[in-house]
Structure formats: C-alpha cells, structure tokens
Structure 1
Amino acid sequence: MKPRLNAYAIAPQMIQAMLDLEDKVKNSGLEESLFHLVKIRASQINGCAYCIHMHTREARAHGETEERLYLLDAWRESPLYTDRERVALAWTEALTLVAETRAPDADFEALKDQFTDEEIVKLTLVITTINAWNRISVGFRSIHPVKAVHAVA
C-alpha cells in the first residue's frame, strides 16, 4: 500500500480546521479513557489502521490496559467495560454505521441513563470527528509509522 496524497501538505488550512475541531472535542470534558475507546472502536469498524495505531498508543500512554484494547471489538461479550462505556460504544457503532442502523431510538435512549444532554452532544462530536479522520486516512491511504523490522515489502 502506498499513500495517495498528503492532505496536510495539499490543503493545510482545511486540515487545520479539522485539527481545531479535534482540539475542541478532545478538551470537551469527557473522560479520556472513553474518548480513546470510542476513537479506537470507530476506527476498527472503518478499517483505519493509521487511526487504530495512533489511538491505541495514546490509550496505552494514558493507562488503558492491553486486555481492554484487545477485547474492544468484542465489548458486548466482555465484562471489562462500564455501563457508561457500553452505551457510548453502542452509540459509536450506531453512528459509524448510520447508513445501516439509522441511529436506533433504543441506543439513543440508553445514553440518557449515563450521559447528560450536553455530554451526548460532546460524545456525538467525538464520534463524528473520528469518522471524518478515518475517511481522510483511509481515503488517502495514510500509513501509520512502521518499524523497519516489521515492514513488509
């Protein structure tokens, strides 16, 4: 796989707008562990290796466990996630797959037991932002850092 183009170099003002949104979303007040889990789960669904690489490294640096990262794509079958994380992950999947799910009422209603209305908006913007980054990275074939010993020709 090789990159198609470098959006950062070609349209720096547009990418800066995304970076500014990312900064606002990251500093929205939602717990950092939830922020990382949502970003990783959406990136798994979208098949974005670049973002999975980035956000799993960040999650580890902020104390996330290997076990929770490994089991994230099977979160429904694992007791390692809190009720708050579970409804956030369900909402992440619903919005990431919105063309299929149409954002079910049940998933939205479940949020109300764990999040305030303001937090629901913030969570939705986290999901929206990572989905945008996934589309940029997958669309332009961004390549995550690779150690030479692991690189495949």
Structure 2
Amino acid sequence: MNTRITTADLPAGLIDAMRHVQKYIDDAGMDRRLLELMRTRVSQINGCAYCLDMHHKEALHEGETVQRLISVPAWREAPYYSPKERAVLAFAERLTFVSEEKHAEDLHEELLEHFSKPEIALLSLAVSQINSWNRLMCSFGTPAGNYKVGQHK
C-alpha cells in the first residue's frame, strides 16, 4: 500500500495537535500496559494495520504477553484478563461502536469499581484518541511494519 497523504501534505499543526492530546493522555499516569491493550483492541476493530503494528510493539515493550495480545479479539472468552481490563475493553468497544450500541449505565458502574470519574473521563479521551489516530492512518494510507518503540514520543 502506498501512502496517500504524506506528512508533507498535511495542514500545518494537524499532527502537532494530535500529539499534544496524545502527550496529555500518556502523561496522565494511567497504566500504560492497559492503555496499549485498549489501543490494540480498538485498532483491531478499525482495521488499522499501522496502529496495530505500533501498539503491539508498545504493549510488548510495556510487558504485555504475546498470548494476551493474540487473544484480545476474544477477551470475553479468555480467562487471563482481569475484571479491570475487561471493563476497559468493553468500554473501548462501546465507544468505538458508538452508533451500534447503547451507552448503558451498567458499563459506567462497572468502570467505577476500578476508576474514578476523572479517570473514566481520561479513558474516554484515550479511546477517542486512538479512534482518531486509526481513522487518520487509514485515510492517509500509512504503511505498517516499520514502527520502532518510542518513535513518536
């Protein structure tokens, strides 16, 4: 696949704005491994090869296991995800499929067992951000496979 829109084609400030939000999320103190697990799942749903490559590598760097990464699409069936991880994955799916699913109160109640309301707000932003990155990278045709851990920090 060829890149359809290169960095040189982008309007001034677009990537800087996205990276500013990303830095805010990354510096907010949330569990990086959990965020990478969530980002991997959302990128799978959205079919973003570039982001899957990136978040798979970042998750491994953060100590995630290959077994758990491979099983993310079947997280409901796999016994090795914690209740906190399950709540985040369910929430990420709900926000990614926002037009297809109702945003039920029970999901927020489940999240409140593991997170404060400010943390849920931050998690909402993190899910929105990876959805935005997925859509940009898919639109741009950014090729997968060459990402190096920490490349965009």
Q: Would you call these one fold, judging by a TM-score over 0.5? A: yes
For 1:26, the equivalent position in structure 2 comes to 26
Instruction: Provide closer, same or farther for how the CA distance between residues 12 and 144 of structure 1 changes in structure 2, counting only shifts above 3 A.
Output: farther
CA separation in 2, counterparts of 1:44 and 1:6? 23
Instruction: Provide closer, same or farther for how the CA distance between residues 54 and 8 of structure 1 changes in structure 2, counting only shifts above 3 A.
Output: farther
CA separation in 1, counterparts of 2:8 and 2:74? 34
Report the identity percentage.
38
2:90 is aligned with 1:84: no
Q: Between Structure 1 and Structure 2, which shows a larger proportion of helix residues?
A: 1
- Give the superposition deviation at 1:103: 2.1
- Computed over aligned residues only, the root mean square deviation of the Cα atoms, in angstroms, reads 1.3
2:61 is aligned with 1:61: yes
In the TM superposition, what whole-angstrom CA distance separates every residue of 1:91-126 from its partner, at most 9, and x where no partner exists?
Answer: 000000001013222222211111111110111111
**Secondary structure of 1:100's partner?**
coil
CA separation in 2, counterparts of 1:104 and 1:83? 18
For 1:37, the equivalent position in structure 2 comes to 37
Unaligned segments of structure 2, at least 5 residues? 147-153
For 2:11, the equivalent position in structure 1 comes to 11
Does structure 2 conserve the Cα–Cα contact (< 8 Å) formed by 1:8 and 1:15?
A: no
For 2:50, the equivalent position in structure 1 comes to 50
The alignment's TM-score, normalised by the length of structure 1, stands at 0.90
One-letter code aligned to 2:32: E
Does structure 2 conserve the Cα–Cα contact (< 8 Å) formed by 1:34 and 1:85?
A: yes
Instruction: Provide closer, same or farther for how the CA distance between residues 55 and 8 of structure 1 changes in structure 2, counting only shifts above 3 A.
Output: farther
**Secondary structure of 2:76's partner?**
helix
Count, aligned residues: 146
In the TM superposition, what whole-angstrom CA distance separates every residue of 1:3-31 from its partner, at most 9, and x where no partner exists?
Answer: 21124652241110100100110111111
Bigger relative contact order (CA 8 A; separation at least 6)? 2
One-letter code aligned to 1:18: M
Unaligned segments of structure 1, at least 5 residues? 147-153
The alignment's TM-score, normalised by the length of structure 2, stands at 0.90
Does structure 2 conserve the Cα–Cα contact (< 8 Å) formed by 1:41 and 1:89?
A: yes
